[in-house]
Structure 1
Amino acid sequence: MYQAQRPCRTETVPVRTLHYHVRVWGERPADAPPLVLLHGWMDVGASYQFVVDAFSAAFAAGRQIIAPDWRGFGHTRTPAPSDSYHFVDYLADLDQLLDHYAGEQPVDLVGHSMGGNVAMLYAGARPSRIRRLVNLEGFGLPATQPAQAPQRLAQWMDEIRQFERGDLALKHYDSADGVALRLMKTNPRLPSDKAAWLARHWAAQDAQGRWHIQGDAAHKIVNPQLYRVDEVLALYQAITAPVLSVHASDDSLGQWWKGRYTLQEYHQRLTQVRDVRHAVVEDAGHMLHHDQPQAVAALIEAFVAGPAPAA
């Protein structure tokens, strides 16, 4: 099994009505901003361990690195069962996590997939709190039209009923090895040693010995709110931090949306960001921080090492 090179400690931080589970590497130096790593949908903060291990010794020694589990994922549990999650709650959660770990100091923010989308919108809503931002495949969603609202709301109500019947329950596994095989099936590039390590953080064992994914099945319910691109672009325009947009050589958008939303369209949206650079990680898919952690670590390290932007 993979052996973590830079073990972390875990902390519990009160955030709104929750007790947020956070992985922390290193202590907070006086002269460097925290590096905050945000995971994606159905993932956990531990997912960044391979990238943290790939940072240079000097960089890792000079930074405090923070990776929370989002609400309803990993060890950040809701105080009562929930049948609905709202995207804006992630922004408010992040806002208070930054209060705790950074105070008034701007942070360097990295987000993958859903975490990248949170990071981009948050950076537009709170531009002064972000020094530099790295977006790893946080593409956003296809544009919607108001006429889709009746069908979307009906779908949301139908899926809540499905959730209540247990139709959306996540599969459980007989062993951690079964979870590892599931991870490798989803991502054929994931080596078996890393899959075995991730499985024991991505899932947890119950009293009967079964392994369950550390994610609330309610996350599978569709968002009742349409994705309003004009609002997203307004938030992009408000970002003042330099942004590094990173995507993998595999075309995730092409695989997911079959032409309904393309990488070209995403890059067109990014023209609204005043200071944006682009990078591609070769021989990688959507989970690029698992596929090529050294390449991702090098991109992050080089980008956040630059000076803060002029006010």
Structure 2
Amino acid sequence: MYQARRPSRSEFLPIRGWRYHLRHWGTPEAGRPPLVLVHGWMDVAASWQFVVDAMREDRHIVAPDWRGYGDTTWNGAAPDSYWFPDYLGDLDALLDALAGEQPVDLVGHSMGGHVATLYAGARPQRIRRLVNLEGFGMPASPPEQAPKRYAQWLDEIRALRRGDMDLSDYADAEGVARRLMKTNPRLPPDKADWLARQWARPNAEGRWAILGDPAHKVTNAVLFRPEEAIEVYRRIAAPTLCVVASDDSLGLWWKGRYTLDEFRERIAHVPNLRHALIEDAGHMMHHDRPEALAALIEDFLRGG
């Protein structure tokens, strides 16, 4: 199994009604805020371990499990839906606790990359440097889709109440690892075995259950409007690095409904933007090429 070179330590913080789980690497330094890493949909904070291990600089790094993932748990009744503004609110409260008013370096992957980029436009003074790792957002949703989208949301929260949207579970950790390697054929067995034990845990029946709330599968009732995202992008003050992998994930997912060219047109509205490509990698680039990604991030954060 993979052996972490820089093991993390856990902390729990009360954030907006949630018991937020944070992973810390390195030691806090007076006057220097942490590097904050935020994961994507159906992922966990531990997923950053390979990148942290590959970094040359030993600085303080913090990665949260987003609400409803990993070991972050709700202090009351679990919600039946998740909304993008809540991720922004959680991140704002988290940065208050970690760094006060001091600007931080922020890296986000996938859904976390989209959230981080929106946050950098909503709170431009809070971000020193921003890295977006395939934080694409969503395809444009024309208004005529609204009735069907609301009906779909209602149907899915009803299905959730009936227990019809539960996540898959597995007989053992090896089954979880096989599932991870099926999703990402580049993932080697040693890393898959390690990730499986961070991504899932035995439940009361002894089966390995994914550490994610099934409510994350519920469709967002609100249509995505790229023109709103673009207006937020225009207000980003931090130097921003936009990283994509050589595999075209958007083409695979959306089959022409949303393309890399469309994403690049949107993100081009960020005032101080540069682009980078990670070769021989897919969407989970932090698993596929952690050494290359770590070097790219560190060089950018140093001002390179």
Q: Return the TM-score normalized by structure 2.
A: 0.98
1:277 and 2:255 matched: no
Correspondent of 1:180 among 167, 177, 197: 177
1:115 and 2:112 matched: yes
Deviation at 1:52, TM superposition (A): 0.1
Deviation at 1:76, TM superposition (A): 0.5
Structure-2 residue corresponding to 1:263: 260
Structure-1 residue corresponding to 2:159: 162
Q: How many residues align?
A: 303
CA RMSD of aligned residues (A): 1.0
Looking at structure 2, the residues matched to 236 and 260 of structure 1 have their Cα atoms a distance apart, in angstroms, of: 22
Structure-1 residue corresponding to 2:63: 67
Structure-2 residue corresponding to 1:193: 190
**Given residue 21 of structure 1, which amino acid in structure 2 is its aligned partner?**
H
Looking at structure 2, the residues matched to 90 and 188 of structure 1 have their Cα atoms a distance apart, in angstroms, of: 30
Looking at structure 1, the residues matched to 95 and 48 of structure 2 have their Cα atoms a distance apart, in angstroms, of: 18
Structure-2 residue corresponding to 1:303: 300
Deviation at 1:81, TM superposition (A): 2.4
Looking at structure 1, the residues matched to 78 and 241 of structure 2 have their Cα atoms a distance apart, in angstroms, of: 37
**Given residue 21 of structure 2, which amino acid in structure 1 is its aligned partner?**
H
Structure-1 residue corresponding to 2:137: 140
Looking at structure 2, the residues matched to 206 and 143 of structure 1 have their Cα atoms a distance apart, in angstroms, of: 39
Correspondent of 1:224 among 208, 221, 226: 221
Structure-2 residue corresponding to 1:3: 3
Q: Is there any run of 5+ residues in structure 1 with no aligned partner, and where?
A: none
Deviation at 1:11, TM superposition (A): 0.1
Correspondent of 1:253 among 246, 250, 263: 250
Looking at structure 2, the residues matched to 184 and 247 of structure 1 have their Cα atoms a distance apart, in angstroms, of: 21
Looking at structure 2, the residues matched to 208 and 281 of structure 1 have their Cα atoms a distance apart, in angstroms, of: 41
Deviation at 1:118, TM superposition (A): 0.4
Looking at structure 1, the residues matched to 31 and 97 of structure 2 have their Cα atoms a distance apart, in angstroms, of: 17
Correspondent of 1:289 among 252, 272, 286: 286
Percent of residue pairs identical: 65
**More divergent stretch after superposition (125-134 vs 198-207):** 198-207
Show CA shifts across 1:254-273 (max 9, x none).
00111111101111111211
**Given residue 68 of structure 1, which amino acid in structure 2 is its aligned partner?**
P
Looking at structure 2, the residues matched to 85 and 137 of structure 1 have their Cα atoms a distance apart, in angstroms, of: 21
Looking at structure 2, the residues matched to 77 and 19 of structure 1 have their Cα atoms a distance apart, in angstroms, of: 5
Show CA shifts across 1:64-121 (max 9, x none).
1000000000000122222111111000000011011111110000000000000010
Correspondent of 2:122 among 125, 130, 152: 125
1:150 and 2:161 matched: no
Q: Describe the SS at the equivalent of 2:234.
A: helix
Q: Return the TM-score normalized by structure 1.
A: 0.96
Correspondent of 1:76 among 65, 72, 75: 72
Structure-2 residue corresponding to 1:54: 54
Structure-2 residue corresponding to 1:215: 212
Looking at structure 2, the residues matched to 81 and 200 of structure 1 have their Cα atoms a distance apart, in angstroms, of: 24
Looking at structure 2, the residues matched to 81 and 276 of structure 1 have their Cα atoms a distance apart, in angstroms, of: 38
Looking at structure 2, the residues matched to 242 and 154 of structure 1 have their Cα atoms a distance apart, in angstroms, of: 41
Q: Describe the SS at the equivalent of 2:74.
A: coil
Correspondent of 1:205 among 188, 192, 202: 202
Q: Is there any run of 5+ residues in structure 2 with no aligned partner, and where?
A: none
Deviation at 1:125, TM superposition (A): 0.4
Show CA shifts across 1:165-213 (max 9, x none).
2221111101011100000000000000000000000001123321000
Looking at structure 2, the residues matched to 276 and 229 of structure 1 have their Cα atoms a distance apart, in angstroms, of: 18
Q: Aligned runs of 1:19-58 on 2, under 5 Å?
A: 19-56=19-56
Q: Describe the SS at the equivalent of 2:276.
A: strand
Looking at structure 1, the residues matched to 21 and 192 of structure 2 have their Cα atoms a distance apart, in angstroms, of: 22
Looking at structure 1, the residues matched to 71 and 26 of structure 2 have their Cα atoms a distance apart, in angstroms, of: 21
Q: Describe the SS at the equivalent of 1:238.
A: coil
